[in-house]
Structures are given as structure tokens and as C-alpha cells.
A and B are shown apart, each in its own frame.
Chain A
Amino acid sequence: MDARLLEFIGELRRAELRISPSEAVDALLAAAEVGLDDRETFRAALAATLVKSARDQETFDRLFDLYFLDLRALDRGLRTALGPDDPGVQALLASLLDGDGPELDPLTAVLLTGEAPALEAAVRAEARRVGLERLAHALQLGVYARRVADGLDLAAVERDLAALLRWLEARGLDPGQLARVRSYLELRLEGLRRLIRRHLEREVERRAWRRGERLVAERLADTPLFALTADQVTEMKAVVARLARRIRDALALRQRRARRGRIDTRRTTRRSLAWGGVPMELVLRRRRRDRPKLVTICDVSDSVRNASRFMLQLVWSLQDCFSRVRSFVFVSEIAEVTEAFDAYPVERAIEWALRAASVDYHCRSDFGYAFSRFVASELDTLDRRTTVLVLGDARNNYNDPQAWALRMIRERVRGVIWLNPEGQWGWGVGDSVMPLYATACDVVRECRTVRQLAEVVDELAHRWWRPRR
């Protein structure tokens, strides 16, 4: 059992669960503690020791199902495949087997007593010996099934069974009984073949799944955002959520560190009075919490919609790392969507921002107009702790860029950061006015893919919002 468990743990590791040696040992201990009698208990014991994060639970469950068959169900399955049990034949065979019957192959013996777990173990061992490294597709099943069957020497088993029947006939078994035994043995053999095939099918599934899982994450991270299909967008959300979490932890840690400060002499003296003037306890001057403010301005026109979606998702997840987050969306008219972000869960908030805000989503992007409107209504609310994050491709449809507005914003705030979902080669070509705006920004970055988005936000979290000493 232990070997099987270790194999399973190796499989989990390949599926990118981080499992330390001590956890593996724990799993073995726990498995020994609860035993195999109850499958759900066994599963719970393994999950408790191996799965330390809710998001790995699904991977675990799927692999568990592939790995630890429900032996009882399998046994039942095998029996139903064999038709109703035939106690008469079983008893007859049993009496023959320990008597002076013909010499039987060990596998034949197991097959006759019909212990599913023993058969399953034999099939698995043989499959391992044959080597399934190159098994990757369902089309190869037949070839591999034959190889395993040959390895198990099913031909010998068939010969054994034939010999057994002849022997029974020679002993003078009446034809009716003989027919029953014959069909019984045939069914058994068929059951074993099915077992082999099922084992290989699961193996294919397991491999395909593992490969698929890894590919999805990698391929998606490098796909240009505008090219994502609706399904991919759904998958991507999980990736972005994980990303947000990482950044959030980094930011939270930073803020806590920043709280340490110099000694507050006034309060230390006050407190020392309790000990007759001896400063037993030092009071540190609390650094004023430097929680930055964030204003995001997202272009939500069709061309950059996916990028905006993930940006908004990130912003939503990072809300509580900032003292204030305000979000604006625009196509040409600009609207504030902060309220939705406060009130709704992430999905709904984003859907709302992308669709329902008081913005005409069907006109053409006009960055200049949006910025000038923003300046007119919001300039007074900006201060030196605010960072403005703009997301857009700066394709202004030949409208007036009004870069002065962005410059005015920049003068009021800590910095303006521009994320452009379009490749750098396109900046300044055609109706792109990126170079004009770039001079009014502190940081300009290309973020065509989620990987780039991740890098940018990570960089911002670690450099930009670092507390000033």
C-alpha cells in the first residue's frame, strides 16, 4: 500500500501540488491509522495531510478517483460482469483446486477464486512492467492491452482453462454442468480482459489530464488578451485571482513592516512612570499608515475589453490594500463605477462596469475627451498619495488627444502609470497617440498577455508602492 501511496503522491507533485517529505510521511501514517475499509475516510485522511489549500482540492479529488479505485465497486462490477454468482460451480471448482486437479498457472488460480483486488494488482504490476510511458492516446489502447495480456500470459490461462474442462470431462461431469462451468470460465476470462482495458483507459485519462492542465495555464498566460475566447476568459479568471492573492500578500506584508518606527519619547516617558521612571517598555512611534490611494481609468471599448476585465478583477481583489480605490471606465464618456465595486462580488461588479455603467459602449474611444472630463470633475479629489492607473490602447480614432489633461492630472498625483494592451510595435502607428501620452506618464508598460499584466502589477507592488524612507 505504501508504494501505491507514494506513487500517488508523486502524481500529485507532478500536478504541481507542493508536498513536502514530512507531509508524505504524515499521509502514510494517517492512512495506516484509518485503514482502507471506508473509502471516504481514507480520502479524508489523505486530503487532510496532503492538501493544504482549498484550490488544490479539486486536483486531489480527480487524481484520487483515478488512482484509488473503489475496490468494492470494482468487485461488484466484476461480479455483475460475470453474471450472477454460481455457488455450485464455485464449490465444485474449489474442491477441485485443492485436490488433485491439473497443474494451474497462479493467475488462473486467482481468476477462478475471483478476487478482484488480487487481479487488479496483477494487472497493474504487469502494466508497470510493460511500461506505459508512450501510451498517450486512446487509439493505442488495443496494442497496449495486447501487450499486457501477453505479459500476463493469458494464452497460458486459456490453455489452463481448456485443460481444466477436459479434465472435468474425463472425470465424468455431466454435460449440463460442464456447459455451466465452461460459460463461467469464459466470463471470468472476459472479465480479466475488461479489467486490463479499464486500467489502460484510466492511465490514458490520467496522462491526458495532467498534460492538459499544465498546458492550459502556460498557453493562456502567453495568449494575447484580445484573442482569448469566452471559455478561456473563464479559465483565466482563476489565474488572475491567484495572481491577485500573491500581490495582496506582498503588499500586506510591506505595510506591516512599515509600521515599525523610531522611539516615541513622549509616550515612552509617560509609560515609564509606572515603574518609577524606568523605561521598561519602549513605545515606538507609529509610522502613519502609508496606504496609497488608487484611481483606475479603464478603456472598456471592444478592442481592449479582456484586458480591462482582468485589470478590474485585479483592482477589485486589491481593494483593501489601498486606503481608497476609485474606478472609472470610459469609451468616450467617462463614468465612475466605484460603487459597484464596493457593493458587489467581483463577477457582478465587473460585468456591471463592462456593460451597465452610464457609458455609451458603442461609440469610438476618445481618450482626450475622457481625460478632459475627468479633469473637470475629479481633479480636486486627487492628491500626492494617489496613483493613477490608466489602461487603454491609446487609439484615439483621430480625435484631439488633449494630452494637457493627462499632464494636469500628473501634476497633482504621485504618479501616472499607463498599461497598454497593444504590442509596443504599434504605438504611434495609425491613430495611436501613445507617444504623446507617454511623456505625461511616469511608467508606461505593454501588457498584451496575462503574464505581462502579472509582471507589471508585481513590479508596481514591489517598487512603486514601496514606502518612502
Chain B
Amino acid sequence: MLTAPEAPVFQSVDEVQERFRRAGYIAGRRTATVVYLAARMERPILVEGPAGVGKTELAKTLADVSGRPLIRLQCYEGLDEGKALYEWQYAKQLLYTQLLRERIGELIADAPSLPEAVARIAGQEDAFFSFRFLSPRPLLAALLAERPVVLLVDEIDKAEPEFEAFLLEVLSDFQVSVPELGTLRARHIPLVVLTSNNARELGDGLKRRCLHLFIDFPSPAEELEIIRLKVPEISERLARAVVAAVQRVRALELRKPPSVSEALDWARSLVVLNAERLEPALVDATLSLLVKYEKDLERVRGALDRVLAE
């Protein structure tokens, strides 16, 4: 059963932005609005965007900020309901049957006929198909949790459309039916975040159900703020230089443009190396932290003086 509604997670969009910032996540106006709406309207958020712009981080921060535990379901090709929802622990059930063999023997010892014996065992089914032998997987765990949680369904685009349809069912009603146990309803409606890298087009049903959020690479100002926040040791001058360089590298039409997380790695490495400014030699040596493909590296090296132009 649903418990009485508790105090709303957020009071206003500004509050979302402020609390996320304190938790170390720079949320743009759009992001904050969507998070606020998701909490108010009890809708899942579908986050799309290039790799490494903080989609997963959004869910983690949301859990952090709202003080809820994070339950994560990583999707992959071949993920099925069994792995996402629940599994019966066959081995444990078998083990118990073995250990209880004598008790079971007693139970049916004086049964006059075989059908009677079967009926008696059937009468005891509940003992074997109970929560004791059910191991809840992330989805069920999120529904049955004692207190509200944040459920992160990561890279939903990696899973098959069938799984997506199933997930849609769970997310619309927040209930699942386990044939042996009946219908299980969510104790609390979880805050759900789904992320997608757009490996394939998601189904319309799921998109309709969700609030949609597209996170793109941050603007220079936002990126500067992120770097200052995450790499506090960095000098103002270096931070600005890093942001400018990263933004220019992104404009180079690479196979995989550097993401925010890679920019952060790079900034950290520069701090560790005690860099004061972006010397070409130093940049060349650390470039592989920023750009991951050989061809891209060549390309950036070729355009290095443009990238580092003041």
C-alpha cells in the first residue's frame, strides 16, 4: 500500500538548483526544472545526451540531495525480466526440500492415495513460494524498499525493445505481478531516472511516459564553474585556459569529442603536474587524457596552436 504522501522533495526550481550545486553538480535551468517536475509529478526522467556529460551523475546527485538510497539497474543487450525484477532461488528451495524431506514424508505418510498426497503438498506451496526464496532484483527492490529510493536505469538503449515495453509497464503502474505471490504494489513511488546514449531510437510509449531531458555539452561558463567546483586546487587562469582549449577541441569534428568527465581528468592531471599555463609540450604529453582515439589525437596535435591560442 502507498503510505500517506510525505513532504515534497523540492519546493521550487531554485531550490533544486541550489541543493544540486551544494552537492557538487551544476544543474542548468532546464535540468533543474525537469528534476523538480519529476519529483512533483512522479514521472520518470529520460535523460539523453552525449557520453560523459553527467547523465548518470544526475541520478547519483539526486539520490544524494534527496537523501534517498540509489538503486541502479545497468542495462545491456540480453537483459531480461528475471535479471531486472526478481528470481526464485531454486537452489535454496531445493536445499530446503532436501533438509525437510522427513517432515514432508510425515506429511504425506498417511495419505491414502497419490492424488491426496499431491494435494497435501500443494497445500504447503506457500512455504516454498514466499519472499524467503525470492531474491529481488533492482526493479523489485526499488518498489518494495521501506523508504523512497532513486532508481537509476542506466543505458536503457542497450536493452532490447521487449525489455523496454516491460519496463514501461512497471513504470506506469508501479506494480508488478509475481504469479505465485500475486500483485506487488510499490510502497513508495521511486524517483526514476533513465539514461540513454541514443544507440537506438527508444519506443514512443516510454518517451510519452517520461519527462524528457536532453543534456548537451556545457557552455563555457558552465564548464568553468564545473571545473572550479570539482578541481578546487586549480588556478583561475589555468581553469580558463583549460575550458577554452576543451571547447575548441570539441569544435574540431572528432570521432569522440571530449566530455566533461574527460575535461575534468585533464584538469586534474594538469594540477598534479603543477602546470601554471598550457605549455604545448605539456599539453601534448597529457592529451591522451582528453582525446581517446588515435586519429583524433593526430588531429588535435595537428591543430594544437589553434587550440591553445590565447
CB closest chain-B residue, reference A280 = B90
A348: chain B residues at CB < 8 Å are 253
Chain A binder among B26-34, B187-195, B228-236, B280-288: B26-34
Determine if A381 is an interface residue (Cβ-Cβ < 8 Å): no
A44 to chain B, nearest CB (A): 4
Determine if A40 is an interface residue (Cβ-Cβ < 8 Å): yes
Q: Which residues of B from 205 to 220 have beta carbons under 8 Å from A?
A: 207-208, 210-214
Q: What does the 1/0 interface line of A267-302 toward B look like (CB < 8 Å)? A: 000000011100010000000000000000000000
The answer to whether A256 touches B160, judged by C-beta atoms less than 8 angstroms apart, is yes
CA distance A408 to B13 in the complex (A): 68
A40: chain B residues at CB < 8 Å are 29-30
Determine if B43 is an interface residue (Cβ-Cβ < 8 Å): yes
The answer to whether B41 touches A29, judged by C-beta atoms less than 8 angstroms apart, is yes
The answer to whether B214 touches A54, judged by C-beta atoms less than 8 angstroms apart, is yes
CB closest chain-A residue, reference B48 = A54
Determine if B24 is an interface residue (Cβ-Cβ < 8 Å): no
B34: chain A residues at CB < 8 Å are 44-45, 48
Determine if A22 is an interface residue (Cβ-Cβ < 8 Å): yes
Q: Check A275/B94 contact, CB under 8 A, given A47-B30, A343-B255, A344-B255.
A: yes
B196 to chain A, nearest CB (A): 11
B303 to chain A, nearest CB (A): 13
Q: Which residues of A from 31 to 46 have beta carbons under 8 Å from B?
A: 33-34, 38, 40-41, 44-45
The answer to whether B212 touches A48, judged by C-beta atoms less than 8 angstroms apart, is yes
The answer to whether B160 touches A22, judged by C-beta atoms less than 8 angstroms apart, is no
Chain B binder among A151-159, A247-255, A359-367, A383-391: A247-255
A47: chain B residues at CB < 8 Å are 30, 212
Determine if B161 is an interface residue (Cβ-Cβ < 8 Å): yes
Determine if A23 is an interface residue (Cβ-Cβ < 8 Å): yes
B28 to chain A, nearest CB (A): 9
- Which listed residue (B77, B91, B200) contacts A248, Cβ 8 A? B200
Residues of A in contact, count (CB < 8 Å)? 37
Determine if B174 is an interface residue (Cβ-Cβ < 8 Å): no
Determine if B36 is an interface residue (Cβ-Cβ < 8 Å): yes
Q: Which residues of A from 297 to 337 have beta carbons under 8 Å from B?
A: none
B224: chain A residues at CB < 8 Å are none
Q: Which residues of B from 73 to 120 have beta carbons under 8 Å from A?
A: 77, 90-91, 94
A363 to chain B, nearest CB (A): 30
The answer to whether B37 touches A57, judged by C-beta atoms less than 8 angstroms apart, is no
CB closest chain-A residue, reference B161 = A253
A100 to chain B, nearest CB (A): 46
Q: Check A23/B40 contact, CB under 8 A, given A44-B34, A48-B34.
A: no
- Which listed residue (A30, A38, A276) contacts B41, Cβ 8 A? A30
A237 to chain B, nearest CB (A): 14
CB closest chain-A residue, reference B34 = A48
A273 to chain B, nearest CB (A): 12
B15 to chain A, nearest CB (A): 12
Determine if B204 is an interface residue (Cβ-Cβ < 8 Å): yes
A256: chain B residues at CB < 8 Å are 77, 160
CA distance A407 to B5 in the complex (A): 74
B200 to chain A, nearest CB (A): 6
The answer to whether B161 touches A245, judged by C-beta atoms less than 8 angstroms apart, is no
B160: chain A residues at CB < 8 Å are 256
B144 to chain A, nearest CB (A): 25
The answer to whether B33 touches A343, judged by C-beta atoms less than 8 angstroms apart, is no
Determine if B254 is an interface residue (Cβ-Cβ < 8 Å): yes
CA distance A455 to B50 in the complex (A): 30
B interface, how many residues as a size bin? 20 to 34
The answer to whether A44 touches B33, judged by C-beta atoms less than 8 angstroms apart, is yes
B161: chain A residues at CB < 8 Å are 253
CA distance A245 to B37 in the complex (A): 31
A53: chain B residues at CB < 8 Å are 201, 207, 212
The answer to whether A345 touches B208, judged by C-beta atoms less than 8 angstroms apart, is no
Determine if A51 is an interface residue (Cβ-Cβ < 8 Å): yes
CA distance A344 to B252 in the complex (A): 11
Q: Check A347/B207 contact, CB under 8 A, given A30-B37, A48-B37, A249-B200.
A: no
CB closest chain-A residue, reference B37 = A30
CA distance A456 to B207 in the complex (A): 30
CA distance A274 to B89 in the complex (A): 12
The answer to whether B214 touches A57, judged by C-beta atoms less than 8 angstroms apart, is yes
Determine if B132 is an interface residue (Cβ-Cβ < 8 Å): no
The answer to whether A345 touches B212, judged by C-beta atoms less than 8 angstroms apart, is no
CB closest chain-B residue, reference A339 = B295
B76 to chain A, nearest CB (A): 13
Determine if A262 is an interface residue (Cβ-Cβ < 8 Å): no
Looking at B36, B91, B210, the one whose CB has the most chain A CB atoms below 10 A away is: B36
CA distance A287 to B40 in the complex (A): 47
Determine if A439 is an interface residue (Cβ-Cβ < 8 Å): no
CB closest chain-A residue, reference B209 = A22
A sample of 29 inter-chain contacts (CB < 8 A) reads: A22-B208, A26-B41, A26-B211, A29-B41, A30-B37, A34-B13, A41-B13, A41-B29, A44-B29, A45-B33, A48-B33, A48-B211, A48-B212, A49-B212, A52-B204, A52-B212, A53-B212, A54-B48, A54-B198, A249-B200, A256-B77, A256-B160, A275-B94, A276-B94, A343-B293, A343-B295, A344-B255, A345-B254, A347-B253
What is the interface of chain A, defined by CB distance below 8 A to chain B? 18, 20, 22-23, 26, 29-30, 33-34, 38, 40-41, 44-45, 47-49, 51-54, 57, 245, 248-249, 252-253, 256, 274-276, 280, 343-345, 347-348
The 3 closest A-B pairs by CB, nearest first: A44-B33, A52-B207, A44-B30
Known A40-B29, A252-B200; further 15 A-B contacts with Cβ < 8 A: A34-B33, A41-B13, A44-B30, A48-B33, A48-B37, A48-B211, A52-B46, A52-B210, A53-B201, A53-B212, A54-B48, A57-B214, A343-B293, A344-B295, A348-B253
